[in-house]
């Protein structure tokens, strides 16, 4: 019995440290250090969380950013982490807004590095749950128990707005909307309608051949007539005298 008790005690000394080693323990959060060590810092909302394999394979969170504090702004971020909190995986919740500190994926075989994803984060990276919104982070957006809230806001500095999401291209070959063609035989809208023809037999005003007044011609005719009349009178008087 004594031998069994000793063996159980020794086994306990061996197994307890091994179990503790499997748990993830983080040092207290230091705002300036977290900002300095991060490759990218972004405030955004989780729109999707997907697994890359089994229970111990990493998961990938898709983030729709609203403010970018460090790194090249993107319209969407994909960030990997371990699927298990014991391996320091961060528990992303779809629909929740976070301040995320991400580091570059080294490409090494770690439980938080996913193939094809260039950013990763851990439970100890300093990520913070934020209140819903899209404006730059204020102190009231951070957890109430965060002691270094003021220091964190100072270290973060002024954010940059992310680019707008790229609109999907229109389907190939689809014609652009245009006005329908005019029906065959219908008059063009650019041609003004012509006046209808005059009814048959209706009088049409004749255009004068000349714009000169007829009065001078009438005066000449009267003068000639008067001269002829005077000549006849003179001839008659002469004949009367001779007779």
What CATH number does the domain containing 62 carry? 2.40.50.120
Domain of 70, in residue numbers: 31-156
For residue 152, CA distances in Å to 34, 43, 99, 114 come to 9, 13, 11, 29
Banded pLDDT at 3 (limits 50, 70, 90): very low
Is the pLDDT at 133 greater than 70, yes or no?
yes
99 in a structural domain: yes
C-beta neighbour count of 77 within 10 angstroms: 23
Mean pLDDT of 167-183: 55
Mean pLDDT of 210-219: 48
125 in a structural domain: yes
Per cent of the chain over pLDDT 70 is: 65
What pLDDT is recorded for position 151? 98
Backbone torsions φ then ψ of 79, nearest 5 degrees: -130, 130
Measured between alpha carbons, how far is 243 from 237 in angstroms, rounded to an integer?
10
222 in a structural domain: no
Q: Number of structural domains, the chain?
A: 1
1 in a structural domain: no
What is the model's pTM? 0.61
Q: For residue range 7-58, what is the model confidence (pLDDT) as tens digits?
A: 333 344 334 344 434 578 999 999 999 999 999 999 999 999 999 987 788 9
9 in a structural domain: no
51 in a structural domain: yes
HSE-CB for 146 with a 13 A CA cutoff? 22
Place of tokens 């970018």: 68
62 in a structural domain: yes
172 in a structural domain: no
CA 65 to mean position of chain CA atoms: 15
């Amino acid at each position: 019995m004594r031998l069994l008790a000793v063996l159980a005690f020794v086994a306990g000394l061996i197994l307890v440290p091994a179990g503790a080693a499997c748990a993830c323990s983080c040092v207290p959060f230091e705002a300036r250090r977290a900002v300095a060590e991060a490759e990218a810092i972004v405030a955004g909302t989780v729109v999707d969380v997907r697994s890359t394999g089994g229970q111990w394979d990493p998961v990938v969170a898709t983030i729709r950013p609203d403010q970018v504090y460090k790194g090249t702004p993107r319209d969407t971020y994909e960030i990997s982490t371990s699927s298990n909190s014991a391996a320091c995986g961060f528990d992303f919740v779809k629909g929740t807004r976070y301040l995320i500190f991400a580091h570059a994926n080294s490409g090494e075989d770690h439980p938080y590095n996913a193939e094809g994803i260039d950013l990763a984060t851990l439970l100890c990276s300093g990520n913070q749950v934020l209140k819903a919104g899209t404006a730059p982070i204020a102190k009231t957006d951070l957890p109430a128990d965060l002691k270094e809230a003021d220091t964190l806001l100072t270290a973060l500095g002024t954010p940059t707005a992310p680019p707008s999401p790229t609109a999907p291209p229109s389907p190939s070959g689809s014609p652009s909307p245009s006005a329908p063609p005019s029906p065959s035989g219908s008059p063009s809208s650019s041609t003004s309608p012509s006046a209808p023809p005059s009814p048959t037999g209706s009088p049409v005003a004749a255009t004068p051949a000349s714009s000169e007044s007829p009065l001078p011609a009438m005066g000449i005719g009267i003068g000639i007539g008067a001269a002829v009349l005077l000549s006849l009178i003179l001839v008659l008087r002469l004949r009367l005298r001779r007779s």
